[in-house]
Every structure is written in C-alpha cells, then in structure tokens.
Amino acid sequence: MDLTLRVWRQRGPLDEGGFETYQAAGVSGDMSFLELLDVVNEQLVTEGREPIAFDHDCREGICGSCGLMIDGRAHGPRASTATCQLHMREFSDGDTIVVEPWRAAAFPIIRDLVVDRTPFDRIIEAGGYISAPTGSAPEANLIPVPKGTSDTAMDAAACIGCAACVAACPNSAAHLFTAAKVVHLNLLPQGQPERWRRVERMVETMEEYFGSCTSHGECEKACPKDISLDNIAVMNRDYLQAKIRNR
C-alpha cells in the first residue's frame, strides 16, 4: 500500500517544530510501524537528510521505550498494543497518518519524537520499592502470599513505564503509572512496613510534575498492558489513609 506520513520534526527542546510530509510507497502489511519509520529514515539518509529520531529498543512491547501519538491516539489504533507491536495491516492504501511525540509539560521534547520521561524515575525513587538490602532476605517460602493477591500484584506490576497514560490524559496526569507501582507493592505482605510512607511520597512526587486526575479514563484505554483504572481508586484510598495515619 502507499501511505502519506505527517511527522512532527523538532530539532531540540527550544525549537518550534512542525510537521513534515513523507511518502511511503509499497508498504507491506507485515511491516511493523517502526519498520515503516526505518524505511523512511533509510530513504532520508540516502537523500542526505536527517532521519526522524524516535525511541525504541525491544520491539516486542516490554521495554516501554517506544511511544508515538498516531492519528491522535497513544500507540495508535489497536488496543492493548505498544507502537512497536503495531503492524501496517491495521492501515489501508492511501491513508494519511499523523505521527507526533507524547505531549505533556512534564516531558520536554528532546528531538522529533523523543521526549524526556525522567519524572517517572523520580516517582519510583521517592518510594517505589521495598527496602530489602542485598543479603538481608529471609527464605523465600517463609512468607506465603495468597495466589489471588500475588496475581493482582502481577497485573499491576506489568506496567512498562511507556507513559502512554500521561500522553492520553487531557490533564497529563500520571495516576495510572503511579498507582500501578503503589498497588503492586502495597498489596504484598513484604510491602506492608513501608506502605503508608510509600504511597504518600510517591503521590506527592507525582503531583510535583503531573496534572490531576479527573477520571476521564483515557489512560486505561491507551495502556498497552491493560493496567486497570481500579488501581487508581486503591491508590487514592491508601493515600487518604496514609495522610490520616502519618499526620
């Protein structure tokens, strides 16, 4: 199929930026979206122009590096799918596809489609861990964890930190990301000693960078790993309790 791409190009954080149009001819449906960008880039380099910068690594939906706004949707048209797993068979001959970076005040654009997502690391740093210095761990089976608890913790822990939730949110809130980690750790018996401190610090760090949640639910729809909105409710509940306890 033949496609037209309108791609956001921006040289650096302070640059204005704007769309440029590229033609891609003879695109096969078996190509992934990122392979399409590879082909466009190859063409650009051959013409002596600068290729489009975009982030990616695993190309199998697990590292969370990739992330593009495709026709206004985070990670494009297919549900539960990261950009790198999106294949061109989702598109039709003659389509014009608009490709933009994540847009959020907390994520300055580094170049073209690459943004700076370090605020996510700051949130984890604030408390997204269980303090268990190397060597201090008890025998693993000493603390049984009910299978249901462990499974729910795993559901939340599946977050890949891609930031599609922030990009999809009209308020640029990071509640889904933060809640996924809070719930993963706060559910487990090992996570109890730091439970209240953790949620308080993480939520407050999140608020330094990101907008507030007004329950649009766009984050859940955009999430390539189906992280549930329920996590946000649990986080909010824990946060309130923490405020009462830690007062």
Partner 1 sequence: MPLLDAKTPDGPIEDRWDDRKFSMKLVNPANKRRFTVIVVGTGLAGASAAASLGELGYRVKAFTYHDSARRAHSIAAQGGINAAKNYRNDGDSVFRLFYDTVKGGDYRSRESNVYRLAQLSLNIIDQCTAQGVPFAREYGGLLANRSFGGAQVSRTFYARGQTGQQLLLGAYQALMRQVHLGTVDLYCHTEMLDVVVEDGRAAGIVTRDLTTGEIASHAGHAVVLATGGYSNVFYLSTNAMKSNVTAAWRAHRRGALFANPCYTQIHPTCIPASDEFQSKLTLMSESLRNDGRIWVPARPGDGRAPDEIPEGERDYYLERRYPAFGNLVPRDVASRAAKREVDGMKGVGPLRNGVYLDLADAADRLGEDTVRERYGNLFDMYERITGENPYRAPMRIYPAVHYTMGGLWVDYDLMTTIPGLYALGEANFSDHGANRLGASALMQGLADGYFIVPYTLGDYLAPQLGETPRPADDPVFRDAEERAASETRRYLSIGGTRSVDWFHRELGKIMWEHCGMERNAGGLREAISDIAALKQEFDADLRVPGDADSLNQSLEKAGRVEDFFGLARLMCLDALRREESCGGHFRIEHQTEDGEARRDDERFAFVAAWGWADDGAPAMHREDLHFEYARPTQRSYK
Q: Does 101 bind ligand FES (CB under 6 A)?
A: no
> CB under 5 to 8 A by kind: which of ligand FES, partner 1, none does 136 bind?
partner 1
Chain mean position to CA 45: 29
Closer by beta carbon to partner 1, 1 or else 53: 53
> CB under 5 to 8 A by kind: which of partner 1, ligand FES, none does 41 bind?
partner 1
Q: Does 37 bind ligand FES (CB under 6 A)?
A: no
* 24: enclosing H helix or E strand: strand 18-24
Using CB under 6 A, which of the segments 10-18, 78-86, 125-133, 187-195 binds ligand FES?
78-86
Q: Which of 31, 53, 63, 110 binds ligand FES (CB under 6 A)?
A: 63
Chain mean position to CA 48: 33
Contacts 24+ apart (CB under 8 A), 52-57: 52/7, 52/9, 52/112, 52/113, 53/110, 53/111, 53/112, 53/113, 53/114, 54/112, 54/113, 54/114, 55/113, 55/114, 56/83, 56/84
Contact pattern from residue 7 through residue 36 relative to ligand FES, giving x for each residue in contact according to CB under 6 A and a dash for the rest: ------------------------------
- CA–CA distance, 246 with 18 (Å, rounded to integer): 48
Give least dist CB 138 to ligand FES, A. Answer: 34
Through-space distance between the first and last CA atoms of the chain, rounded to whole angstroms: 62
Give least dist CB 218 to partner 1, A. Answer: 23
Closer by beta carbon to ligand FES, 10 or else 32: 32
